[in-house]
Amino acid sequence: MATSNDIKNGTVILENGQLWSVVEFQHVKPGKGGAFVRTKQKNVVTGKIVDKTYNAGAKIETASVDRSDYQYLYQDGADFVFMNLSDYDQITVSGTIVGDASKYMLENQQVTIAMHDGSPLYIELPASVVLEVTYTEPGLQGDRSNAGSKPATVETGAEIQVPLFLETGTKVKVDTRTGEYLGRVND
C-alpha cells in the first residue's frame, strides 16, 4: 500500500479491479482546508481518461508494473511481434494494446513495454521518431513554414499535417504522443 503523496507520472494504481496509469498529477495545498492530490488517469485496458482527486495521505493500492526494452520485429495480422532485448524472447502483443502507437512504429525500432503479471499493458514509444513522407501534394515556390499546412502520409501509413513546402521523400520528425510535425531531418 502506498499513499496519495507517492503518486507521480507513470504510477499504475489498482482500483476496483482495474489498472489506471497516472498521466498528470498536481499536489494542491489550499490556504484553507486539507491538502489533496489532483490526478488525470488513463485506464490501461480501455484507454479512457478520467480526473480523480485524493486527499493527502490517503491509502492507494499500486500495481507492480515491469517495464522492459523490446525491439519491434513485424506485424502478424492484427498482432505485433516484439523481441526482448535482454533475453531475446519474442512476445506477441494484440493490436488493441498497441493502439495508436502502431502509427509511428517502424520495424527494428526500440520500444518499452509495460507488463503486469506477465501480460502486456501498453507500449511506450520514444518521444519522437523520424519518418519518411511517402505521399503529399507537391510544394509551391515561396511557401513558408508559417503559411499553413497540408496532409502528408508517412511510411507507416499515418497521416500528419506538414508545412506546404515539404515534398514526397522528405524525412520528418514526428511527436509520437500528438502526431504533430516537429521539423525536417537532413541526412
The amino acid present at 164, given as its one-letter code, is: L
Residues 95/102, Cβ–Cβ less than 8 Å: yes
Q: What are phi and psi of 180, to 5 degrees?
A: -85, 140
Predicted model pTM = 0.73
CA distance 179 to 69: 22
What's the number of CA atoms in the CB half-sphere (13 Å) around residue 15? 17
Which pLDDT belongs to residue 98? 87
Which residue is listed with cell 498529477?
25
Rounded mean pLDDT of 98-115? 90
Residue 43: pLDDT above 60?
yes
Which residue is listed with cell 514509444?
125
Q: What cell was used for 164? A: 506546404
Residue 51's pLDDT band, with cuts at 50, 70 and 90, is very high
151: Cβ contacts below 8 Å, ≥ 6 apart: 136, 159, 160, 161, 162
CA distance 21 to 63: 10
Rounded mean pLDDT of 157-175? 89
